[in-house]
């Protein structure tokens, strides 16, 4: 990451922090204030999700701490980060927060994506949306808080992850067929959506932007329109047919 962001030159500040720990997170905010003078934008993207296709059930010995890890990282750490950042955000005349979550919070471990979304991860993501609304109220009017809820994204829950590689080709196809746009999303598309929420969405707060290629809407098609049973009478009214 340090190489990707050009190292600690210019305005870059790279610190290794366990965001599950309030003291370390407070230290991060103190370093931000000392180095940069304040904070205007928070992308709250910390998470940890175990894929059933990879981890299996929580009853396995290797997964003894997996549920707690998913909750601590995906939900509680987001809360810690926001709480510690809030004093700095309040000093900004126009601050923006973007919570990054998953459609797992809507669909849980169901359908084709049940191989990728674990129960704890899904429950934690359902909680993120509640925090988004609470924080939008808490931050108004100078702090906008919105959420981007992601579907199958490359290097996240799609191609480029270990779990996706474990899926059979038919299982991958089923996931894509359940997505209305018939493909996974890219990190570049996510970045553009986040940039929109930060830079252009001046009249949006407490909003959840679902970016899933239509996965949640997939799997069902509108029903064909039936012929109907009503007939027009001679006066232009309607006559109901009784069976």
Catalytic residues: 121
CA-derived radius of gyration, the chain = 23
For 16, the token pair is 């290794």
User: Is the torsion defined by CA of 164, 104, 127, 195 positive or negative?
Assistant: positive
CB atoms within 10 A of CB 79: 16
Strands across the sheet containing 208-211: 41-44, 95-102, 143-150, 208-211
Establish whether the linkage from the previous residue to 173 is cis, with ω within 30° of 0: no
């Amino acid at each position: 990451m340090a190489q990707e962001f050009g190292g600690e030159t210019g305005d870059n500040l790279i610190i290794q922090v366990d965001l599950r720990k309030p003291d370390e997170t407070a230290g991060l905010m103190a370093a931000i204030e000392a180095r940069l003078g304040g904070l205007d934008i928070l992308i709250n993207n910390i998470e940890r999700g175990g894929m059933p296709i990879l981890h299996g059930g929580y009853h396995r010995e290797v997964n003894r701490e997996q549920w707690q890890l998913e909750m601590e990282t995906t939900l509680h750490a987001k809360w810690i980060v926001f709480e510690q950042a809030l004093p700095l955000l309040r000093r900004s005349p126009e601050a923006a927060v973007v919570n990054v979550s998953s459609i797992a919070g809507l669909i849980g471990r169901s359908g084709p994506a049940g191989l990728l979304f674990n129960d704890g991860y899904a429950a934690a993501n359902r909680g993120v949306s509640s925090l988004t609304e609470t924080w939008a109220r808490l931050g108004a009017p100078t702090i906008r808080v919105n959420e981007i809820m992601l579907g199958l994204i490359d290097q996240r829950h799609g191609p480029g992850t270990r779990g996706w590689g474990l899926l059979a080709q038919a299982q991958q196809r089923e996931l894509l067929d359940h997505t209305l746009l018939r493909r996974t999303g890219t990190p570049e598309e996510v970045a553009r959506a986040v940039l929109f929420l930060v830079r252009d969405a001046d009249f949006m707060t407490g909003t959840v932007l679902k970016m899933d290629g239509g996965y949640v809407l997939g799997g069902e098609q509108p029903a064909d329109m039936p012929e109907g049973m009503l007939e027009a009478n001679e006066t232009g009214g309607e006559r109901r047919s009784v069976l």
